[in-house]
Structure 1
C-alpha cells in the first residue's frame, strides 16, 4: 500500500510539472518590448543620419569640384577642406548603412534573452559614444575658429589662399557641428532609455498563455 502511494505521489508531481510546461512559455516583459522600441528608434535615426551623410558627401563633392574648376587661388584653397569633408561624410554614411542592420538584430536578441548583459554592454558603448561626441565638438569648434582666424588674417594681408582655406574650414566646421549635435542628442535619449530599463531590473519571466490550471497531488486515488 505504501509503495502504491509513493508511486501515485511521484506520478502526481510529474503531472504537475507537465501541466506547468503546457500552460506557460518564456516571453519578453513589457519593459523589454519598450526597450526594444527605443533601441530601434535610435537606429532608425542612425540610418537617417547615414542618408544625410551621403547627401552631404554628394553636395560637398559637387561644391568642391566646382571650386576646383574655377582655378583661382581662393577657390582651390577652399576646395581642399570641402573635398576632405566629402570623403569623410561618404565613409560615415556607408559605414552606418553596412553595420546598422546586424547591430539591431543582435541587440534585439540580447534584450530578449539577456537584458542585464544588454544594459552593461550597450550602456557602456553608448557612454563612450557620447564621450567621443564631446571630443568631436571640441575638434569641430577648433576647425570653425581656425577658419574664422585664417579668413580674417587672409583679408588683412590680402592673401586669397588664406581667405579661401578659411572659408572652406568655416563651412566644414559649421556643418559638422550641426550634424553631430543631432547625433549627440539622439544618443543621449537612447542612453537615458537604457538607464530607465536598468532601473527596472527586468529579466525574462514565465508568462501564462492559457487558463490557470488546477493543481493537486493524488494520494490514495483522491486529490
Structure 2
C-alpha cells in the first residue's frame, strides 16, 4: 500500500474432520491465532517513528500500553498494582520507538502516563502552563484531573474532549501530534472500566448534593425577597 503501510489479511482454515469440539476451536485455537496476529501488530506499531504516527496508530499504541499495564500488574498483589502499573508504563516507553523519541522533547510525559495509570481522583483544575513550560508536577495535576473528569462524564471520548478543552497545553499537544487523542481515549476507557463502583457513586452523589445545595440557595433567596416585598 505504500512505503510505510501494508495491508494484512487474516484467514483461518481449520479442518479437523469434525472430530474436534467447537468449544476447543472457539476457546483455544482461534484465540491463539489472534494472539499471534496481535503480537505482530504490537511489534510493527512499536517500530513506527514519532513523525509517522497516525490516529489509527495512536489507538493501537493506547491498547498496547493498557495491555502492558495489565501484564505488569499480574506480577504482584492488588496492593502493588499502582507501582507495577508504573513499571508497565516504563516498559512501554522503552519499547516504542516513537515514545523514545517523544520523551526527550516532553520529559513530563512519563509522569503523566504513570499518574493516569494510578487513576487518582483530584479536583479537575485547569493547568494554564504552556506546552513548552510543562513540568512533572503539571503533568501529575493533568492526570489526576482526567481521572475525575472520566468519572463525571462516564464516557471515555467525552472525558478526553473535556480534559483537552480545559487545558491549553493539551490542545497544543494535539495540534502537534494527531495520534494523541485516540491514544488517551484508550487509557480513559481502561480507567473507566476499572474504576471502583463506590468511587463512581461518591462522585455522582457529590454532584447531586452540589446541585441540591444550589437549588436550595436559589429557593431561599427567592423566599427572602418575596418576604421583604
User: After TM superposition, is the score higher than 0.5?
Assistant: no
TM-score by length of 1: 0.25
Greater relative contact order (Cα 8 A, min sep 6): structure 1 or 2? Answer: 1
The structure whose residues are more often helix, as a share, is 1
TM-score by length of 2: 0.24
